[in-house]
Amino acid sequence: MYKQKDILVFHVESSLHAGSGACIGHIDNPIQRETSTQTPIIQANGVKGALREFYVKNYTNDQNTKIKALFGGEDGNDGAGAVAFGEARLLFLPVRSLTDIFAYITCPTVIARFQRDLIALGKSPMLCEKQSEQQSLWAPAINISEFQAHSLKIKTLPHETLVLEEFPFEKNENNVDSFIEDLANRLFPLTDEYHSFKTDFIKRAVILNDEDFFYFAKYATEVEPHNRIEQTTGTVDEKTGVWYTEYLPSESILYTCLFMGKPHIQLENFDDFNDVDKVKEYIHVLDQQRTWMGGDRTTGKGRVMMHIMKDNPQSKGEAQ
């Protein structure tokens, strides 16, 4: 059904609020999270809506043809779209580092899910070589309070101690250099303004134990206080008090899976857009483009850079 598949990477350039509705906890407006892991996500309908908005604003002449074929009818009665969108999953989360401002953190479970998605989409996974010379999937193994990072790039305290927020982590000696370099090549767009981010990623990427990562994913997001404005006076409503909104921090890296098929909707002047290759070509205009996701846009929230991940068939690393 879906003959073409791609991974679309989102680089969060300003803190992003994809809201999950009101909450009875201390955060009034939390972000969307997976129920099982509590990892931040952007639900698939939010991804689809943001991308549809991008096309409507930038390709107005295509609104009644290609856009409708790509996303389906808005009222639900005009047929399905040619593209199936997955939720945007967190791949790397930025956290404060004592030695280098911040670090991009991930964990074995997140890497394993990313590897599974790569294979499901027909992309080359990250491989390592065993002593038998048979290649196998890279699956990092790491204990609690340890970290893995590029051996020549990461900045640490004496005795190879890394401090993230207020927590110390000791160096795990397994070599992950080639895998981090591979991720930098896959995840970052080839634009001038992202050259330094790609270079810095190699020295800032850190792999933590699952338990350590999921702690940061739950508690290291941004929480911003707001004052409610009284409509008649235009000043702070003292009766309501302060309320709190949660944001995914800038420099977070997420990705979503795109499954592309032949358009289902038949429209006038449709002859030049009637197969899956045309759909893929139209989706690829997203590469190295910016859009907005989530809420609070009037305060600059939710700007993201999009990047169609390039496959790397030569992906290979050293044995763990």
Query: Does residue 320 carry a pLDDT above 60?
Result: no
Query: Using 50, 70 and 90 to split pLDDT, how confident is the model at 72?
Result: confident
- Residues 278-288 have pLDDT tens digits of 889 999 999 99
Query: Using 50, 70 and 90 to split pLDDT, how confident is the model at 15?
Result: very high
pLDDT of 148 reads 96
Contact 213, 110 (CB under 8 A): yes
**Domain locations in the chain?**
4-18+32-220+248-308
- Residues 124-167 have pLDDT tens digits of 999 986 644 567 889 999 999 999 999 888 888 888 899 999 99
- Residues 241-282 have pLDDT tens digits of 677 889 999 999 999 999 998 877 665 665 567 788 888 999
- Residues 195-222 have pLDDT tens digits of 999 999 999 999 999 999 999 999 999 8
Q: How are beta strands 303-308 and 4-12 bridged, if at all?
A: antiparallel
pLDDT of 237 reads 67
- Residues 173-195 have pLDDT tens digits of 899 999 999 999 999 999 999 99
Q: Which one, of 302, 292, 313, 299, lies nearest residue 54 by Cα?
A: 292
pLDDT of 23 reads 60
| pLDDT > 70 in the chain, percent | 85
| Mean pLDDT of the residues in the chain | 86
pLDDT of 158 reads 86
Q: How far apart are CA 91 and CA 89, in angstroms?
A: 6
- Residues 37-61 have pLDDT tens digits of 999 999 999 999 999 999 999 887 6
Query: Does residue 64 carry a pLDDT above 80?
Result: no
Query: Does residue 314 carry a pLDDT above 70?
Result: no
